Amino acid sequence: MNLKVISKATVVNQYLPKKLTAKTTVTAFAPSNIALCKYWGKRDVELNLPLNSSLSISLGHLGSHTRISHSDSGGDVILLNTKEQALDSSFSRKILDFIALFRRTQPLPLIIDTRNNIPTAAGLASSASGFAALMIALNDFFDLQLDKPTLSAFARMGSGSASRSVFSGFVRWDMGEQSDGMDSVASQLDSHWPGFCIGLIKVSSVQKPVDSRSGMARTIKTSNLYASWPAQASADLLSIEAAIKNKNFSDLGQSAEKNALSMHATMMSAWPPLVYWLPESLAVMHKIWQLRSDGIAVYFTMDAGPNLKLLFESSAKKILEIEFPDMEIIQPFGNE
């Protein structure tokens, strides 16, 4: 593997015309996604190149809508859920840094209007859908005519998990091995699973103290268990992909839950320890294990936060709606 570090700007620049032409206004949508096999750890922090491949399910119509239009005021305007954001806020800076990769030195003031329809109660991160929608919108606005793998690679430079949000359904992000990362892209699996459900359970909406980016860096640096993660993740990815192909729900659930807990084991063994769980998270896990021993096929996955995402099929929906009355249910492929 070639580990030479290349800048984002160097990679992106090769795909751009010297001078951009801009449309007046465009809109784009990208779904949020939940990883069933997690991305945890980078081999290149500049390009967000991962140390393992991952696999996710996109959340249908839940995600980010982004509108880009020309700004007449002479300066950029950044809106999030209709509220104007200070240009020096961390949200605005991330967006402006990303846009700078495309605008380079051209004076093209823009209005970037991002609206997330992810239920705020769900405790889901919006950077994946946000960067994917922004990339799709930029491609249209500047008429870049980039293909889907390139959009995925560029969205990844904003946030790793955004590479997967360029697609719907089940999506695999191959880690790749090139130093410019252009083979580290996602693609959609040719699988449709009507009745597949994801339940969002919020146990807390408090901002996580350590975000995924810093959490990964700390884990790699300080956890002895991390050495076992890439091999575990690649084995889990194979099982999950096979389970999706064969529509074997219990195999999928087991591998996804085990994968999430293995990732959390690496986090907990970091120093200072990264324990994203709250007592309520553990209570929900115990409830799920009890429901499983009572014969209900329900599994969970968790990211770098205290909230749980339940995995089940529509046959278990009624009973789970009673057990978890506040759960938001998403069926990315609709009903059976």
Q: Does residue 152 touch ligand DP6 according to CB under 6 A? A: no
The H or E element containing residue 101 is helix 90-103
Binding residue count for ligand DP6, defined by CB under 6 A: 15
Q: Quick one: 58 or 212, whose CB is closer to ligand DP6?
A: 212
Which of 126, 212, 232, 259 contacts ligand DP6 by CB under 6 A? 212
| Cβ proximity to ligand DP6, 48 vs 114, nearer residue | 48
CB of residue 302 to ligand DP6, shortest distance in Å: 8
User: Which residue number, 160 or 181, has a Cβ lying nearer to ligand DP6?
Assistant: 160
Exposure string for 164-196, b = 16+ CB within 10 A, e = fewer: bbbbbbbbbbbbbeebbbbebbbbbbeeebebb
Interface pattern 95-134 for ligand DP6 (x via CB under 6 A): ------------------------------x-x-------
Least CB distance from residue 127 to ligand DP6, whole Å? 5
Position 213 contacts ligand DP6 (CB under 6 A): yes
Q: What burial letters (b/e) apply to 54-90, b meaning 16+ CB within 10 Å?
A: bbbbbbbebbbbbbbbeeeeeebbbbbeeeebeeeee
Q: Which of residues 20-49 bind ligand DP6 (CB under 6 A)?
A: 35, 38-40, 48
Closest to ligand DP6 by CB, 54 or 69: 54
Q: Distance (Å, rounded) from C-alpha 169 to C-alpha 284?
A: 26
- Least distance to ligand DP6 from the beta carbon of 327, Å? 20
**Residues 131 and 116: beta-carbon distance below 8 Å:** no
Please, which of residues 156-195 interact with ligand DP6 by CB under 6 A?
Answer: 159-161
Q: Which residue is nearest to ligand DP6 (CB)?
A: 160
**Structural contact between residues 278 and 306, judged by C-beta atoms closer than 8 angstroms:** yes
Which range binds ligand DP6 by CB under 6 A, 57-65, 110-118, 154-162, 236-244?
A: 154-162
- Residue 38 CB, shortest distance to ligand DP6, in Å, is 4
What is the rounded (10 degree) CA torsion for 14, 16, 32, 68?
Answer: 160
Torsion 243-123-91-78 (CA) sign: positive
Tokens read off for 313: 């099929």
C-alpha dihedral (328, 130, 154, 332), degrees to nearest 10? 20
Interacting residue ranges for ligand DP6, rule: CB under 6 A: 35, 38-40, 48, 54, 125, 127, 159-161, 212-213, 303-304
